[in-house]
Each structure stands twice: as C-alpha cells, then as structure tokens.
Amino acid sequence: MATDPYGVLGVPRDASADEIKSAFRKLARQYHPDVNPNDPTAEDKFKEVSAAYEILSDPQKRARYDQFGVTDDQQGGGPGGDFFQDVGVGDIFEAFFGGMGGQRRRTNGVDGEDVRAEVVLQLKDVLQSSERKFTYRRNAKCSTCGGNGARPGTQPVTCGTCQGQGVVGRVQQTILGSIRTQTTCPTCQGTGRSIPDPCPTCRARGREAVTAELTVTIPAGIEEGTTLRVGGKGSDGIGMGRPGDLYVTVHVAEDSRFEREGRDLFASLDLTFAQAAIGDTVTIEGLTGPVELSVEAGTQPGATKRVKGEGVPKLNGGPRGDLVVEFGVLVPKRLSAEEADLLREFARKRGEPVPEGPSGGGFLGGLFGKKKK
Ligand SMILES: [Zn+2]
Ligand SMILES: [Zn+2]
C-alpha cells in the first residue's frame, strides 16, 4: 500500500496548492541530503516528501489519488521508485531555492566591485544639504583596449568551452519540468571570451585602476559616520557585467567648541564670581555667529541655559535643535591686597567668616575646623 501523500506532507486533504507547496519547501529544506550529509534516512525521507509533492502538485495525479488511493507512478513501483536516482536531488533543490552558492552569475560578464570613499565635513556644513566633490579609486574599463582586454588591432575570440555564454550548463527533465543548471565557465571566468594577444596596459584584465571624481549631495543634518550609497559608481564590470556601487562614508569633524548630541549642541562657559552672582548678558560664539546669552543673578556652577534654534537640524533638514550652555564659575587665582580687603569687607557685610589668607592671622577664625562631611 502506498504512503499517504497528505500525511507525508502534513497537510489536510483540502489543502490549497500554496499550502502544499509551502509544506513541501519546509520539509525539503529539512531533509535535503546536502543539509544532512551523513544521514541516509534523510535522503529516503527527502525522496518520500518529493514523491508526495509530485502527486499533490499535479491536479490530475492528485484527483486520481483522491479517487483511487494510488497514482500511475505508484502502480509501477514503490513510492517515488527509481525516479529520483535519475534526476538527482540537487537539481530539484536548486530549482526551488535558487541554488546554494549565492554567486552573481551573469551571462557574458562579471559584475564590478563595490568601492568605498570618504568625505569630511565641518560641523556647520550639516546645517543645510551641500554638494561635495571628491576623488576616489576605482577599476575602470581599460583606456588602451576599451575593456576587451586584447592588444589594440587584435580581437578577443569566443571562449571555446562555453561558446561565449560565460556559463556552462546542462538541461535535465525532472518532475518540476525541464531544469537548466548553470555554473560560471571555468575557462573564461564568465567573460565568454578568450584573448590570444593580451592588451599591454591591463594584461587582458580589461580594466585599470583610475582616480575618479564625483560630486555627491550630502543631506542636511547628517551624522558622523553615515554612509551614502551611489549606485553604479563603483568599479566597472567586465564584459556585460554591471558596475558596482560606491559607498561614501561622511565624517563630520570634531568642533572644539561644541559636543553634538542629535539635534542639540553642548558648550561650556566660565563666568567670573561677580558675573555669576550679579548676573550679566554675555555674547558667545554660536555655530553661525554671535549668540547673546542672559546669565541669571546667582547662577551656580553646573547650571545650564538652553538657547532655542542654535543647534543643528535632523537628517534631511527641519528646524534646528538647541544650544545648551553649561556654566562654570571661576575663582580668582591672585588677588592684590586691596582686592582681598574688598572681599573681606564683602564677607563682613554678609555676616560670613572673614578670611585672613593661608599664612595670615594666627587666631582661630570661623573658617578653621574639622573637614566638613
Ligand atoms: Zn587593456
Ligand atoms: Zn568560457
């Protein structure tokens, strides 16, 4: 008695074609011999799953199975029979999952490589989008031979192994129809040509390293380290191959005045003791020019002031963030005798202990005592 194909695939008897296909793919992945190289039962299971799919994916065979419990194929032998030994499981797997290699195969050519470049901006450059011209190295079609790799006056000839196709393949009949499997031609590496008299500049490679120049538009608000992709500006391909892409990494130079955090800029400003105590209006250097800053009376060290709209925009523009200024308070390093007397007078007026200086006095004033916890 033949195995129930619905049971093998784990689908209900009224499963749709999509459900059957999806169940098959899942099981085929699980039991494929390439995935289970040392497990002979996996191959048997794979054949069983494939045989079940062969029946259920074909409306006529499925109807016949539903009606009679068998199909023509199964009447001839065991489930699946010798069929799969002829076809080869690898081909079926490739037909379904697009091959295992992941290589970019291309008739008559090899794709060019991706290339990297870097540009450096100043912080103020991120305020608006800007055009930036720069140079970078790429492989371009050889200027001597025009990219065909042959000495000028000579011509490449068609590769005898692949007849110019760049790939070698075979066609096989399987349950899924006729399947063509291809690999890159080992003789010409996919170019489809062979070069009897090589170009002296590129030695038949068809390309040479050049310095290219390009202008890119850099969006406003770009962050340090952002990479922009410029399609097709990498290295030229060989033959009919496509050019690679260019990846431009944008660096935003450190600005000694500002720390950047998203849209906001952070800076610090030291006030004198008198400025901090009395308050003041000061002018600081913003990113785009002078910025007037009001210092409140009694500003403490570490206090901050936020100036709206003096930061930077977010990526692709929009309103600018803020400038946040953190205040420090300077203690004067040297005082004249007169200045010291003024400060003592100040302390006296406020009812504070009156300092005598590090070597002055000699009596126990209010400032002397145990270290404060
Ligand atoms: Zn050349
Ligand atoms: Zn070839």
* pLDDT for the residue 367: 52
* pLDDT for the residue 152: 94
Measure 178 CA to ligand 2 centroid, in angstroms: 23
Flag whether 9 is in a domain: yes
**Judgement on whether residues 223 and 131 belong to the same structural domain of the protein:** yes
Place of tokens 């031979």: 145
Number of continuous H segments (helices) and E segments (strands) in the chain: 9, 17
* pLDDT for the residue 220: 95
What CA–CA distance (Å, rounded) separates 271 from 206? 67
Measure 195 CA to ligand 2 centroid, in angstroms: 11
Measure 235 CA to ligand 1 centroid, in angstroms: 15
Task: Give the ligand whose atoms come closest to the C-alpha of residue 169.
Answer: 2
What CA–CA distance (Å, rounded) separates 243 from 112? 5
* pLDDT for the residue 369: 55
For residue 31, what are its two tokens? 């039991």
Measure 54 CA to ligand 1 centroid, in angstroms: 52
Measure 184 CA to ligand 2 centroid, in angstroms: 8
Flag whether 51 is in a domain: yes
Flag whether 59 is in a domain: yes
Flag whether 188 is in a domain: yes
- If one counts the domains in the chain, the total is 3
**Judgement on whether residues 46 and 92 belong to the same structural domain of the protein:** yes
Measure 242 CA to ligand 1 centroid, in angstroms: 18
**Judgement on whether residues 139 and 121 belong to the same structural domain of the protein:** yes
CA atoms within 13 A on the CB side of 71: 24
* pLDDT for the residue 108: 63
Cβ–Cβ < 8 Å for 155, 136: no
Total-model pTM: 0.58
Place of tokens 């492989």: 139
Task: Give the ligand whose atoms come closest to the C-alpha of residue 199.
Answer: 1
* pLDDT for the residue 207: 92
* pLDDT for the residue 305: 96
CA atoms within 13 A on the CB side of 167: 15
Residue where one domain finishes, among candidates 252, 285, 312? 252
Residue where one domain finishes, among candidates 66, 97, 128? 97
What CA–CA distance (Å, rounded) separates 73 from 53? 13
What CA–CA distance (Å, rounded) separates 146 from 140? 10
Q: In which domain, by residue range, is 146 found?
A: 115-252
What is the tens place of the pLDDT at every residue in 233-256? 999 998 788 999 999 999 999 999
**Residues of the chain under the 50 pLDDT cut:** 1, 73-106, 362-365
Residue where one domain finishes, among candidates 231, 252, 273? 252
**Judgement on whether residues 52 and 137 belong to the same structural domain of the protein:** no
Flag whether 153 is in a domain: yes
